[in-house]
Amino acid sequence: MKPLIGTELKRFLRDYKRVYRPKRIVALLLQSVEYPANVGSIIRMADGADVSELVLTGITPTPPHPTIDKIARNKHTRLNWRYEKDPLTAIAQLRDGGYQIVAVELATGAVPYYEFNFRERVCLVVGHEDHGITKTTLAACDAAVFLPMYGKGRSLNVHVAAAITTYHVLHTAP
């Protein structure tokens, strides 16, 4: 094996997009994700995953922001994103757009993300780094999934959890 560069890299990127098409449409809702570094990481991942829409709500900082812009590598300029103060308003709008609203949260009734039956259009909701998704927002979701933790830690960083679930949803058959 050797790293791909130049023309070989361009061909690889072109060809795999034809073969490995996403199986679902994914949107993301950030409910009061407070730290700009996490927002920037999620924006960069969302661009790479070609999420249909990214909705920033509550106290989530928005671009332009020096930390977000640096970490996201200005991907917010290519991404379909918007700010909506009230997450419940955003959820209602996404639901009207045909999205199944799924919280990524440790909550009663939550199932491991790899056992959940996601619909064709899914909006994943992630919450604040310390407090998670609020009870009110969680109650507005259709379901909840979680990422099992096998070590001593109880959770992953919000941008890591968002990335794992986003790519899982994109690549599992409906």
- In the prediction, which pLDDT does 100 show? 98
CATH of the structural domain 22-171, one choice from 3.40.309.10, 3.40.1280.10, 3.90.79.10, 3.50.50.60? 3.40.1280.10
- In the prediction, which pLDDT does 16 show? 87
Start-to-end C-alpha separation, the chain: 33
37-67 pLDDT, tens digit per residue, is 999 999 999 999 999 999 999 999 999 999 9
Structure tokens given for 66:
């020096």
- In the prediction, which pLDDT does 131 show? 94
- In the prediction, which pLDDT does 17 show? 83
Structure tokens given for 9:
């890299």
Cβ-count burial of 151 within 10 angstroms (0-12 exposed, 13-18 middle, 19+ buried)?
exposed
Q: Which residues of the chain have pLDDT under 70?
A: none
